[in-house]
Amino acid sequence: MKLTTLITPDGPFTLLASGGVVLASGWTADPDAVLARLRPEQRPAEVAVVDADDPDVAGPAAAVAAYYDGDLSAVDAVPVEQHGSAWRERGWQRLRGITPGSPLSYAAFAGELGNPSAVRAAASICATNAPALFVPCHRVLRSDGSLGGFAWGVEVKRSLLAREAAQG
C-alpha cells in the first residue's frame, strides 16, 4: 500500500492506494488520519509514502488534480475498494452515482436504497466512507438543506458543494 499527499484548494489531500485502487482518502496531511478511516482489520501492515507519480497512486492523484481543474467526473472512473455489509456496499456504490451539483438529502438517499425510513443508517454509510471524494459522501445533506457532518470538516464539504454547483 502506498500513500501520497497532494495540495488542493481545500488543503492537503492524502490518499491510500494499491495498483491504482483507492482504499482511503481525505483532506489531511496526516497519514494516520487516513488509515484510521479503515476498520482495524483492513489497515495495511506496511505503508510507503510516495510521490504522486508513483504508479500505485498516479491515476488517482491525476484524477484529483483533474477534479480541482474542473473535470468533476474525473474521480468517477477511479476504482475503489471498501468492505462492509451488503447495505453499506450498495450505499457506497449509490453515492458514486450522485450527480455533481445535485446533492441528495439523507432521506432521499435512504429512499434510493429502498428503505426511506432508514435515514440514520443512510447517514452511517456516509460516515463510514473511507475513500472520500472518490465516493462522494459530501453530496448528501440534511433534509433542511443544511450540511450535516463531514469527516474532513464542514468547510471542506461546503467548498466541494460550491465548486460542484458552480460547474455542474
Catalytic annotation, residues: 137
Question: Whole-angstrom Cα distance, residue 133 to residue 61?
Answer: 12
**167: which 3 cell numbers?**
460547474
Question: Whole-angstrom Cα distance, residue 95 to residue 84?
Answer: 15
For residue 16, which phi and psi values (nearest 5 degrees)? -110, 125
Question: Whole-angstrom Cα distance, residue 33 to residue 30?
Answer: 5
Q: Are 133 and 13 in contact (CB under 8 A)?
A: yes
Measured in residues, the chain has a length of: 168
